[in-house]
Amino acid sequence: MEEKSQLQCKTYAADISSIKEAQNRIKPFVHRTPVLSSGQIDSISGRRLYFKCESFQKGGAFKFRGACNAIFSLEDSEAAKGVVTHSSGNHAAAVSLAAKLRGIPAHIVIPKNAPACKVENVRRYGGNVIWSEVTVQSREEVSAKVVEETGGVLIHPFNDGRIISGQGTISLELLEEFPHIDTIIVPISGGGLISGVTLAAKAVNPNIRILAAEPKGANDSAQSKAAGKIIKLPETKTIADGLRAFLGDLTWPVVRDLVDDVIVVDDKAIVEAMRMLYEILKIVVEPSGAIGLAAVLSKYFQENPAWKDCNHIGIIVSGGNIDLGVLWESFKN
């Protein structure tokens, strides 16, 4: 009941109404992604696991939901000059594809260290690639310049209510199909995905637990939860290239108030989870998408009495866009 009262009394960037509106808006364009399971993985984890495979979403990641909602919610006069965003990969491709479907230009600012496969996705969908340095500051400065030059609308990767609402449609699908799920584990970075998933899930079931999964080399969310304020790290170092952003002022309140815990795992555990999903579930998953399984298998989760009653767990497999060269090298380590 505590979560329900928080949802009723506090105003967040999205709510169940905006998420349901997003679901209706994007339904003609997005895939209803499959939920896979494996008795072998269940036996290893000691739980029933339900993998919501956003790796099979258009663009290869959940990001298409939010991008599609944001772009198709624009008035024609707003959309006429196109859209601008900055992203290391999946959001960039998602915005490019959604813009292509709407028939408007997409100007995509990408840091120089972005995975080649994700940059190629942007170009494949017709996005205009503009390079920035690897820092968030550089990405934002270049984006602001592009907005000024083009008049395009900025579509932020995560700190946007339209993006959050679009990502929340994942929970609606998952809990409609498996209403008995008692826990959802979600990768966390900027917080757009977990904010949408949390707001939708706790509106449907106030008692559901939401756990974030985060790499040790980019554990700003765990530090933020502990400190009670947004913590930004001087640098991040993790194989999970999609989980290097920091929380925004729209996503942080949801994480602060409604996310039950943050589970931190190291890169070795992420790679082992990738291997397991490939060998047993037969799906190729990028590091960010495998981190939920790594969290379930972690000692922190397995031995924590707070989570002993988490028996039916939904895991958001956030994406499958991976540089295969990096994948093979990671398996050698």
Q: What is the pLDDT of residues 151-178, one digit of tens each?
A: 999 999 999 999 999 999 999 999 999 9
Number of Cβ within a 10 Å radius of residue 75: 8
Q: Is the pLDDT of residue 8 over 70?
A: no
Q: Which positions are annotated as active-site residues? A: 63, 88
How does DSSP assign 301-330, residue by residue?
Answer: HHT-GGGTT--EEEEEE-B----HHHHHHH
Q: From CA 29, how far away is CA 26, in angstroms rounded?
A: 5
String of DSSP letters for 144-207: HHHHHHH-PEE--SSSSHHHHHHHHHHHHHHHHH-TT--EEEEE-SSSHHHHHHHHHHHHH-TT
Mapping DSSP to helix (H, G, I), strand (E, B) and coil, where does residue 314 land?
A: strand
Give CA 211 to chain center in angstroms.
13
Residue 9: its H or E element: helix 2-9
What is the average per-residue pLDDT within 33-45? 98
Read off the tokens for 205. 């079931």
In the three-class reduction of DSSP (H, G, I as helix; E, B as strand; rest coil), residue 75 is classed as coil
CA 223-14-8 angle, 5° bins: 90
What is the pTM for the complete model shown? 0.93
Structure confidence by residue, pLDDT tens digits, 56-98:
999 999 999 999 999 999 999 999 999 999 987 789 999 999 9
Same fold, 2-62+160-332 and 63-154: yes
Structure tokens at 149: 């030059």
Q: How many residues does the chain have?
A: 333
Q: Could you tell me whether strands 106-111 and 35-36 are parallel, antiparallel, or unpaired per DSSP bridges? A: unpaired
- Taking residues 284-296, report their average pLDDT: 96
Query: 224: which DSSP letter?
Result: H
Whether the CB-CB separation of 198 and 183 falls below 8 Å is answered with no
What value does the mean pLDDT take over residues 285-308? 97
Confidence of residue 333 (pLDDT cuts 50, 70, 90): low
Reading the block at residue 317, the tokens are 């497999």
Residue spans of the domains in the chain: they are: 2-62+160-332, 63-154
State the fold for domain 63-154: Rossmann fold (3.40.50)
**What distances in angstroms separate CA 39 from CA 36, 44, 48, 291, one per listed residue?**
10, 9, 8, 19
CA 85 to chain centre: 16
Report the C-alpha gap between 122 and 105 in whole angstroms: 12
Whether 252 has a pLDDT exceeding 60, the answer reads yes
Terminal CA-CA length for the chain? 46
> Angle at CA 214, nearest 5°, toward 312 and 15?
65
* CA–CA gap between residue 166 and residue 133 (Å, rounded): 29
Q: Does domain 2-62+160-332 have CATH number 3.40.50.1100?
A: yes
Query: Per-residue confidence at 295, pLDDT binned at 50, 70, 90?
Result: very high
